[in-house]
Amino acid sequence: MVQKIEFAGKSSEEKLTELRTKLREANASAVIVTALDEVAWLYNIRGRDVPYNPVVHAYAVVTLQEAFIYVDSRKITSEVKEYLDSINVQLRDYSDVLAGVHTLVKEGTHLSSIKDVDCRDEVDATVTNGDAETKATGDKTGLIWVNPGSCCYAIYKALPGDQVLLQPTPLALAKALKNPTELNGFRRSHIRDGAAVVAYLAWLDEKMQEVYGAAGYFSDSKCTNKRKRLENEKLTEVSVAEKLEQFRARQEYFMGPSFETISSVGANAAIIHYAPEAETCAEMNPDCIYLCDSGGQYLDGTTDITRTVHFGKPSAHEKACYTKVLQGHIALDSAIFPKGTNGHALDILARVPLWRCGLDYRHGTGHGVGAYLNVHEGPHLISFRPQARNVALQSSMTVTNEPGYYEDGQFGIRLENVMIIKEASTEFNFADKGYLAFENITWVPLQKKLIDESLLSTTEKVWIDSYHQNCRTQLSPLLSGSELEWLTKATEPLFAN
Which pLDDT score is estimated for 467?
A: 99
Give the length of the chain.
497
Looking at residue 203, the DSSP 8-state letter turns out to be H
Q: Which long-range contacts (CB under 8 A, 24 or more apart) does 118-127 make?
A: 123/148, 123/156, 123/166, 126/166, 126/167
Query: How far is CA 30 from each of CA 63, 102, 132, 145, rounded to the nearest angstrom?
Result: 4, 13, 18, 6
Q: What is the pLDDT of residues 357-377, one digit of tens each?
A: 999 999 999 999 999 999 999
Q: Quick one: pLDDT at residue 494?
A: 86
Q: How many CB atoms lie within 10 A of CB 454?
A: 8
Chain centre distance of CA 261:
14
Tens-digit pLDDT profile for residues 285-317? 999 999 999 999 999 999 999 999 999 999 999
Q: What is the pLDDT of residue 362?
A: 97
Residue 179, CA distances (Å) to 15, 23, 114, 284, 369 in order: 12, 21, 35, 42, 14
CA distance 216 to 220: 8
DSSP state of 407: E
What pLDDT does 126 receive? 36
What is the pLDDT at residue 120?
Answer: 34
Q: Pick out the chain residues at pLDDT < 50.
A: 109-140
Q: Which of 134, 196, 171, 74 is nearest to 370 (CA)?
A: 171
Please report the pLDDT score of residue 403 as a whole number.
99
| CA–CA distance, 137 with 141 (Å, rounded to integer) | 9
Phi first, then psi, for residue 380 (nearest 5°) are -90, 160
pLDDT at 130: 37
Distance of CA 297 to CAs 54, 140, 368, 373, 468, Å?
A: 8, 44, 15, 8, 25
Q: What is the pLDDT of residue 222?
A: 73
Residue 431 corresponds to which amino acid? A
| Domains of the chain from N-terminus onward | 5-174 (3.40.350.10), 180-490 (3.90.230.10)
The CA distances from residue 89 to 98, 166, 298, in Å, are: 18, 24, 26
At 230 the pLDDT is: 59
